[in-house]
Amino acid sequence: MSDSRLSFDHVYQPPSTAKSGSPTPVTLLLLHGTGGNEHDLLPLAPMLAPGAGVLSPRGKVLENGMPRFFRRLAEGVFDLADLERRTHDLGDFVTAAAAHYGFDPHRVVASGFSNGANIASSLLLARPGALAAAVLFRGMVSLIPEPMPSLPQTPVLLSSGRTDPLVPVQETERLAALLELAGADVTLLFQPGGHQLTRADVEQASRWLAEKRLMFPA
């Protein structure tokens, strides 16, 4: 969807009708990997959080024709100035979308894969309070803010592959340590595979969201 009042091409899906006395529904912010688009992660939403609203933007950067959320200089080497600018651009978009569609901006849970996980972790650190929680599939350290923000008990799940050729185990552990330093409540999981997203990733993330009371049941 293209909306002149919002800054990203995106898809929005409202939550299931809330029952009387039920908690305010979460909105899943779905953030695709390099070469993906706003439709790529939509099938994950009902598996991760049945009944939740969905906001899925397309990254604005093109790398050899492939959408991304920020520029990189080489594999694993990020354009930090561009990352910072586009992180705040994404944060502003989420705020505008909340006002436009009427969802609670304090109940946004990011779920990102690879490049999407990296912009999500950057958003966590650069805009404390912009996300209620985050599920980061195959994420690595993208932004190291100065000074370090406070993310008291913000739930974050990191799910990575033990044989991932793009995101080594040590890099995932660096990200976990950085988020813990900021005060986040970090859960670190490793899958037996590589960089690809697996059913085990999604099933474990769904259980984690339920345990953290972040899901909105249909």
| Residues labelled catalytic | 114, 164, 195
| Distance separating alpha carbons of residues 188 and 182, to the nearest angstrom | 16
Distance, in Å, from the CA atom of 142 to the CA atom of 102, rounded to the nearest integer, reads: 31
Contact 141, 215 (CB under 8 A): no
In sequence order, which ranges of 39-126 are alpha helices (DSSP H)? Answer: 45-48, 80-101, 115-126
Q: Is the peptide bond before 165 cis (omega within 30 degrees of 0)?
A: no
Using CA atoms of 89, 90, 93, 97 in order, give the dihedral in degrees to the nearest 10. Answer: -170
